[in-house]
Amino acid sequence: MRPPREGKFSHPGGKRLPNPTGIRPQNQAIWAVIILGFAAFGLSWFLMPPVSSLLLPLALFFGLVLAAEWVPVPVGEHGVQISVSLPIVVAVAAVFGPADAAIIDGGATLVAGILAVRSKFRTRWQWPLFNAAQSAMSASVAGMAVLPITHSMGGASGIALATLVATPVYLIVNSVIVAIAESVVYGGRFLARLQEKRRLVGFHYGVYALLATWIGLLAYFGQYWACAFFFLPMAAARRCFLLRARHDRDYRETIRALGLMMQHAHPYTGGHLDRVARFAALTAERLGLSSQDVDLMFDAALLHDLGKIAIDEQILNKPGRLDEQEWALVRMHPVIGAEILSRVGMMEPVVPWIYAHHERPDGNGYPKALSDTEIPIQAKIIAVADAFDAMVGGDRPGEQRPYRVSMGVEQAMRELHDCAGKQFDERVVMAFTQIVREQGAA
């Protein structure tokens, strides 16, 4: 796995996080990983020097890893890439030793990275070095972890067990390093980043472990020519992951775009929903929600007013007071929105959030007048972000609401704090105002 390429990275909020640490600590973190990578490589060399008598098979494996690294698979929405080289590296680590695996993985990643920098993507030159170091470190740690197994058991069963153990070790080390690097360079909580990695790679793990086991067995019996047989499933696996990622992304984008455009019937909603979604996702992240919830939070905030398309705009935009009947209609919009979204497969977890986004902790909200503990935290986040942006209003004149005069950011924040505990949740308001101040300063 590799961290997202610089510049291609996008936060759920659509914008890159402002980097609070400046340029220097980033470089320090990258250099720390590079040095640690060399240290791990040295240690594995010390424990078990690389096998030099089998140059031809090692070159073959190097070529295979290079081919896999050259065409990485993007997973998820955040620009994280994985490559299918892992089974080969793990097999080499189990059969030949950690130092060989580190040389092959690190070397191939470096070559692929440098070639990529020159031709495909224009990234900073540290990234190939960083990626090489972190793969070398992952490979050597995975190899060293299974040294006791191969030493004590020996034989084909030892190799099989070693590959099965080394695959998760590699993945864990790799995820932790990438998560640390991302949280240092791009900001965000380390645990949330790690969780995101687990979610992204979980599916691939089984296939990797299987492939690794039998590449290892083939290498153990010296049947290198049989590589042809696992090249086929590997190419198929890569294609499969790629398609899966592409289908997921397409689906998500389609839902977002359709839902967003349907809400554009209301003149002020466009920019409003974008901002609400961005701030809601940032607040959710700050409050420690899981990365899956943060992503869903973004979509939920984009679509939270979908129910309004069933209500006459003349009532929604009415400048004066609404009569009893009109109020009853307006109160229906969370219910209708939840009902519509309950039919969208991906949005199922979001339904209760949409349903409750006009509930209040003091029990005076609608549609159900739920009490504080019954309202999901995500609904409270939407409520705060929505209210804040409605108060501040857009910069463009068309986005100001006809029934309300927009106010300044400071005044709106005071209003939020005054209503905390009654209309809004106190914790959410605290986190939200922090986010607004940071964004304003950036």
Check: CB of residue 159 under 8 Å from CB of residue 216: yes
DSSP secondary structure letter of residue 17: P
Nearer to other proteins, 4 or 87 (CB): 87
Mark residues 345-364: x for contact with other proteins by CB under 8 A, - for none.
Answer: xx------------------
Nearer to other proteins, 189 or 244 (CB): 244
Residue-wise over 170-183: b if at least 16 C-beta within 10 A, else e? bbbbbbbbbbbbbb
Name which position in 255, 330, 351, 387 contacts other proteins (CB under 8 A).
Answer: 255
3-state SS class at 142: helix
Nearer to other proteins, 120 or 264 (CB): 264
Q: End-to-end CA distance of the chain, in Å?
A: 30
Site for other proteins in 28-67 (CB under 8 A): none
Check: CB of residue 76 under 8 Å from CB of residue 121: no
Mark residues 113-152: x for contact with other proteins by CB under 8 A, - for none.
Answer: ----------------------------------------
Instruction: Determine, following the binding rule CB under 8 A, whether residue 341 of this chain makes contact with other proteins.
Output: yes
- Measured CA to CA, the distance from residue 95 to residue 142 in angstroms comes to 12
Check: CB of residue 380 under 8 Å from CB of residue 361: yes
Q: Is the dihedral of CA 160, 165, 166, 167 positive or negative?
A: positive
Check: CB of residue 95 under 8 Å from CB of residue 159: yes
Taking phi over 0 as left and psi of -120 to 50 as alpha, with beta for the rest, 406 belongs to beta
Name which position in 71, 258, 328, 369 contacts other proteins (CB under 8 A).
Answer: 258
Minimum distance from residue 167 beta carbon to other proteins (Å): 15
Site for other proteins in 313-332 (CB under 8 A): 313-314
Single out the residue of 147, 197, 143 nearest to residue 170, CA to CA. 143
CB count within 10 Å of CB 385 equals 28
Instruction: Determine, following the binding rule CB under 8 A, whether residue 243 of this chain makes contact with other proteins.
Output: yes
**The tokens of 78 are what?**
């955040």
Q: What is the CA radius of gyration of the chain?
A: 26
Mark residues 271-310: x for contact with other proteins by CB under 8 A, - for none.
Answer: -----------------------------------x--xx
Check: CB of residue 65 under 8 Å from CB of residue 85: yes
Site for other proteins in 369-408 (CB under 8 A): none
Instruction: Determine, following the binding rule CB under 8 A, whether residue 71 of this chain makes contact with other proteins.
Output: no
Minimum distance from residue 343 beta carbon to other proteins (Å): 3
Check: CB of residue 199 under 8 Å from CB of residue 175: no
Minimum distance from residue 156 beta carbon to other proteins (Å): 8
Nearer to other proteins, 110 or 211 (CB): 211
Cβ-based neighbours of 11, under 8 Å, separated by 6 or more: 17, 78, 186, 188, 281
Site for other proteins in 194-223 (CB under 8 A): 207, 210-211, 214, 217-218, 221, 223
Nearer to other proteins, 39 or 257 (CB): 257
Nearer to other proteins, 136 or 306 (CB): 306
Name which position in 262, 322, 407, 419 contacts other proteins (CB under 8 A).
Answer: 262
Binding site for other proteins (CB under 8 A): 156, 207, 210-211, 214, 217-218, 221, 223, 226, 229-230, 232-233, 236-237, 239-240, 243-244, 247, 250-251, 253-255, 257-259, 261-265, 306, 309-314, 336, 340-341, 343-346
